[in-house]
Amino acid sequence: MRREPIWPRALKGLIGFALGFALWWGATPQYNELVRRAAEPIIRFSETTPSTLLRLKGREVLVVKTDLPRGTNRPGVPLYDLTFNVVLLSVLFAVDRATFSNRNVVAFLLALLLLYFVHVFGLVAWINHLFATDTAQGRVNEYSAFSRAFWYKAIYFYRTVGGLALAVGIWWLLRPQHLLGGTEEVSTPQPRPRRNKR
């Protein structure tokens, strides 16, 4: 059995981490706009009288309620806190044996697309959690005790473990066959050929 040295993979992982980090930090303002555009209609669709607008401010998304008086507190959602799992995803795809193979690159792009939907869901969950708990937003009464607990748990889960676990799940779903050395690294005892006795 031939074992690959671990250091080239570790180096790839480190480069993947640096590039993923640069992508996450550098593209955050543009990317946040994409997430905001998708989340806003979902939030407005759930309202009896659509009155919520989402506005970008730095690396945050401000929740603006047009039916509330000017000067009302506009809570912000730190979107970077929801999107940093892209760094983890970059590392996981970078450590592949054939990092720049078509298959790995396509799988990574597809994973980014899936992660985008995860981020939109994360933002929607966070805003619903805000509406369900922040009395200043004037919507607390629209949420039952169950839905209040649901949105609280959903965003708590996402922020503590779910966001990262979803990135791992997406990678697991799309990872190429030859990941982590392929089957040649696996030691499976083969039965010895039997000799016929005369």
Partner 1 sequence: MKQAQRYFLLKFFGILIGGFLIISFGPVERGVVIPFTSLLARMSGAILRVIGEPVTITGTRIASPQFAVEILNGCNGVEAMLILVASIFSFPASLAARLGGVLAGSVAIQLLNLVRIVSLFLLGAYHRNIFDLFHSAVWQVIIILASLGIFLFWSLKFAKRADMATSA
177 binds partner 1 (CB under 8 A): yes
Among 183, 190, 192, 198, binds partner 1 (CB under 8 A): 183
Site map 43..62 versus partner 1, x via CB under 8 A: --------------------
Site size for partner 1, by CB under 8 A?
38
According to CB under 8 A, which residues from 87 to 116 bind partner 1? 87-88, 91-92
| Structure tokens given for 134 | 């922040």
Phi, psi of 58 (to 5 degrees): 65, -125
Contact region for partner 1 (CB under 8 A) — 36-44, 67-75, 77-85, 127-135? 77-85
DSSP H stretches of helix in the chain: 6-26, 28-45, 80-83, 85-94, 102-133, 145-157, 163-174
Cα dihedral 148, 151, 153, 155 sign: negative
181 binds partner 1 (CB under 8 A): yes
With a CB cutoff of 8 Å and minimum separation 6, the contacts of 90 are 16, 17, 19, 20, 21, 23, 108
Residues lying near partner 1 in the complex (CB under 8 A) are found at 13, 17, 21, 24, 80-81, 84-85, 87-88, 91-92, 153, 156-157, 159-162, 164-165, 168-169, 172-173, 175-183, 185-188
